[in-house]
Structure 1
């Protein structure tokens, strides 16, 4: 039986990554809340004629997002964004020079996986207390069931609800593959190259696509473990249909090779 999916449109660790100057508020969050400004300093807003997706700064001139976000010919990324309705001062707006979508991405089959793209920027981002690099996980590493991670973005606050103007965060515990792939969960739509996280009242929603799933490691640093990919077609908060993320630990060689060759 085919499941209806909704795409959420709307490297290894290096030193100096994953340590926000303004630590995020990680009290238990239900249904999400406004993030502390600049506490997820690797989060970017991907924009063409209007904001479309989120993304992650992984090098001064490289951003990572979802492949399904790449639908226009020209993009810019905005760093140090918090309130979309205001120019607050620290924002950096940089043009995208090159867009590289994973060669195995199939826009007609989101559940086939490979929903990842890399964007090379025309100029380097200026790293400071509000703009910092994400750490990426070790190749083939895994997260345990219920591991606490956070999704961030400016997506809809709930299915059919208003678009957030201020950056939101929500705690999404990981749902291990053995559970997520059960028939009454995501079944065969869940792949080992994906991460399932959240479910019920906690979810990403339309407009969060491409943004990071950030998880704090035992070393105290934050690692971006996933790229926000899709939710169930029945709604963002459907029971037993956690948000699906591209699992970055499966794509470290491709990320490394793509950045080296471009």
Structure 2
């Protein structure tokens, strides 16, 4: 088995069950892409390029992310390795959970942050200019009346 990780989320406690009323942590272990593809009955090449798979094979727990956990982190210590992307198991003891591999997607993530940040700054700059224009117009109009 691979690296032991922790997943946290606010999703359903079990298939068809209630949403968690507190942040729930589960323990899983990464599994090789070949094994994951075989368990999910998908081709290894292409389908698993930017994904990670993990399972809890402990017979007493069989924990997995469930509905409502999309976007939750797959962590080891304080490092995020993946993000819950596909709810496959959620109560099925023999299927792995699937995560987007953060490391392989870092360029895309940085691009989105940069794009979003530029948009936010452009919006803020536009508001400042608009406020300055109104202030200038207001003072100009006030000057005309004096």
Query: What TM-score results when the alignment is normalised by the length of structure 2?
Result: 0.67
Find the partner of 1:253 among 98, 103, 107.
107
How far did residue 223 of structure 1 move?
0.9
* Structure 2: runs of 5+ lacking an equivalent: 117-146
Give the 5 Å matches for 1:1-262.
145-182=1-38, 185-188=39-42, 191-199=48-56, 201-216=62-77, 222-232=78-88, 235-262=89-116
Looking at structure 2, the residues matched to 250 and 175 of structure 1 have their Cα atoms a distance apart, in angstroms, of 17
Cross-structure match for 1:96:
none
Structure number, greater radius of gyration: 2
Looking at structure 1, the residues matched to 49 and 11 of structure 2 have their Cα atoms a distance apart, in angstroms, of 26
Instruction: From the two aligned structures, give the one with the greater helix fraction.
Output: 2
* Structure 1: runs of 5+ lacking an equivalent: 1-144, 217-221
1:226–1:245 contact (8 Å) kept in structure 2? yes
Instruction: From the two aligned structures, give the one with the greater strand fraction.
Output: 1
1:229 counterpart SS class: strand
* Structure with the larger RCO, 1 or 2 (CA within 8 Å, 6+ apart): 1
CA RMSD, aligned part only?
1.8
Cross-structure match for 2:129:
none
Looking at structure 1, the residues matched to 106 and 14 of structure 2 have their Cα atoms a distance apart, in angstroms, of 32
Cα deviation, 1:190-232, whole Å, max 9, x if unaligned, reads: 512111112461100111111111112xxxxx11111111223
1:186–1:240 contact (8 Å) kept in structure 2? no
- Runs of 4+ deviating beyond 3 Å: none
Distance 1:192 1:199, change over 3 A: farther
Looking at structure 2, the residues matched to 240 and 156 of structure 1 have their Cα atoms a distance apart, in angstroms, of 19
Looking at structure 2, the residues matched to 208 and 243 of structure 1 have their Cα atoms a distance apart, in angstroms, of 11
